[in-house]
Structure formats: C-alpha cells, structure tokens
A and B are shown apart, each in its own frame.
Chain A
C-alpha cells in the first residue's frame, strides 16, 4: 500500500544521522522530526532564526516570539540558539547544515526542482528554498509521487519555473525511494506492497530499475 504523509516522513527519518544539523521545509518535511531515533543527537534548524527546535508548546505556553519557518509556535531544546536572518543563511550557504529536506511540485531526472510558483495561478514565493537547494550538498525531496490529477511529479524536465538546477539527489514519495544519477531516476526501494510496475507507471521521467528493488523497511 502506498504510504501516507507520515509514512514518507518515517522513511526519510532513517536518513538523519547522528551529529546532523537538519533543515526541514514546510509540510511533510516538518513531520520527519517526529520519527528521528531518540538515541542519536540531531539539531533542527529553522531558517527564520533558530537552531535546536523542539516540539510544539503545551497549550497556554505559546510564545509569539518563538516560531518556525512555517510561522507555527514552537519550543526550543537545551542548547538551542537564536540568530538573525543573515546568519541563518550563512549556516545554509556556508554548508554548515548537513541535510535539507523539502517538498516539491516537480522533480526532474536531471535533479532540477520546482516548488515555488505556478504561473498565473499561485505565486507564494520561494522563501529560503532557492538558497537551500543552491547550497546544500545533501537534499532529500519529500512529496507524493503524483499530483491531485494523478499526473507524475517525477518528470523528464520540470514544466514549472525551477527553484534550483541539478540539485536533488534523493526523492522519497508515497510509492518509492529514488536516487537521481546520470542515469535519471534510479528506483531503490518500493513502499510496502507497491509493485515496480505501479511505480514505473507513475514516473514520467527516465526510470532505471535495478534487478533487486527491496521493500522499504519502516
């Protein structure tokens, strides 16, 4: 069965390693924090200016001066720090953040990503996404494999205005884990009960299928 959003987050959480500073985007990526093993040390960075982000506050303890990049009220953990926006992006551009997890509308087989604009319809802006994808060396995209109309979001080339060029190396969807290499998308893992054929059918871009494609262990 295809994964739900929490399932995607749970699978991505396995990519978070001990000692990592991690930036989580809005949406599915935010959920990843809930599934990171608690026997490793990880700090979450939010680009509006906090490192060491904790869970949501208890009711009545919300502080309007302590929010994440999604404008949600949050808490901080011991060892946390606050900083200004220029310093926040020094951490990102300067490659001090080890892992970036973000959502996308489209990903192309050459690693291009589109997630900020639908011309004429929706223009919310890129926020910190362009800085993140241009600098981070380890980017994982978390998204559904197809859009609401059932069309593939893994394409030969992005049809929407792109956020960054050739930057995505790994995609985790409700159906599969895929790497992006010079061969295009390489199918690494299937969601439990999902067949290789289903994934191939839902992937518009060039898909390389190795002989053995194990089920995700989540």
Chain B
C-alpha cells in the first residue's frame, strides 16, 4: 500500500503559490473542499486561476477567495449566487470564462484520462464557440475544447482510506471524481479517513492512484443554499 496520508490541510496544500491554476470540486456549496478553501483563503497567494462550476456565495466557498481578491480568473458554468463575484466581473477586476457545464466536466475528465482535447456540440453557434475550431461529424456541428492543465485539484469525499481511495455521497459527488488526477497534484479531504483495507474495493468510486494527498477534514459546515421542504400531512 502506498500511503497518501498527510497530517493536515497545511501539509496537504504544500507548494501552492501565486499565479497557479487550481480546480475545485463541488456543485453550489455541496461537496466543496471546505478545509482546503478555508486554508487557501488565509494564505498570501494571489493571481489565481480557478476552475469550479460555481463561485461560492459571498461569505462561503470560493467567495472567501474572491473577497480577498486572490482570484484573477474564474472558469465556471454558473455564477448566479454571488454578489461580490458579479461586482468584480462587471467592473472588469475579475476575468471570467463561462463555459457549458458538461464541457467543464469533460475538460476535467479529459485531463484525468489523458485526452488533450475533444469535440462537443455544446456551445456551437454561440459566444462560447468564438475562435474555436469547428468540425462536422455525422451532419452535426461541433467545437474543439481542450483539457485543463492545472497545478492543484482540490476535492472532497465522504470516506477515504490511507491509500487515497475515495467514496462520495449523494450529489456531493458532482465534479469531485472528474477532478481527481486531472491536475498535477490532487488533494483530497474526507469526512472520514480509515486505514487501507477497511473500505470494500467494490464500493470505491475513485482509486487512490488519482490522489496524491489525503487528509481527515474537520468542522464541515455543509451549508444548504436552498432549503426546500414539504409539509407533513
């Protein structure tokens, strides 16, 4: 067994510096690497390019890095929930590349899987396609999209073991598995870290080969963005 365990978030984030490109798992605030984001928001690193489906809310998630103006460029598919984000974007302080959600996921997966690029129909004929190579397959138009090339990928899983194997829970899975192994270094934080051998190999979602560092996360807030319920009848 190759041990991927590190003691804490500080050790897990060793090597991060200004002007790097980071990828973050999570959809809205669900399944975001809360510990890594909290730590990064307290470091003096700036000029970051961040890949994340969303940009957090003003006081949580990547909103914390936005508040301190640590992010130079965001690559996301939907950024509707964050007023500070919108302000920085409309004023031109923050560079934003909005891309289709499936394209974002696939650019992660392509990097993980060793594909330099791929064709997708998503965005053909729209602003997203501007300047991109276009090609017709089976009578349908597609555009060429490239794999991401990031320095760090930060993901959050439900359970993990010391070998770096990961299991996700519910829709907190989202982009996390696609980011594992997509960057030069993948940092996984887990709600429950167990010794190798305790997780059933049949149940592993992401094999440890895609993870360089794993640590036991702490104090998960797991904030709910839209609490919707139905009455008991």
Contact = CB atoms under 8 A, between A and B. Distances in A.
B122 interface: yes
B127 interface: yes
B227 A124 contact: no
A58 to B, nearest CB: 5
Nearest to A133: B122
Nearest to A128: B101
Contact of A84 (B29, B104, B178, B229): B178
Interface residues of B, number: 60
B100 A65 contact: no
A56 B224 CA distance: 13
Given A50-B171, A92-B102, A125-B77, A62 B126 contact: no
Given A48-B27, A49-B174, A89-B105, A161 B100 contact: no
A83 B109 CA distance: 14
Contacts of A135: 121-122
Contact residues on A (Cβ < 8 Å of other chain), bracket:
35 or more
Contacts of A58: 229-232
Contacts, number: 186
Interface in A58-89: 58-59, 61-74, 82-86, 88-89
Contact of A73 (B89, B158, B227): B227
B195 interface: no
Nearest to A55: B230
Contacts of A27: none
A61 B226 CA distance: 14
Contacts of A162: 125-126
Nearest to B101: A128
B164 to A, nearest CB: 17
B27 to A, nearest CB: 4
Interface in B26-57: 27-31, 53
B154 to A, nearest CB: 15
B212 interface: no
B102 A83 contact: no
Given A58-B230, A84-B173, A161-B126, 13 more contacts: A48-B28, A49-B171, A61-B229, A72-B228, A82-B170, A84-B205, A85-B101, A86-B106, A124-B78, A126-B101, A130-B123, A162-B126, A164-B125
14 contacts: A49-B173, A55-B230, A58-B232, A61-B229, A64-B30, A64-B172, A67-B27, A84-B105, A84-B173, A84-B178, A85-B108, A93-B121, A125-B79, A134-B121
5 smallest CB-CB distances across A and B, nearest first, come from A89-B102, A131-B102, A165-B125, A65-B170, A124-B80
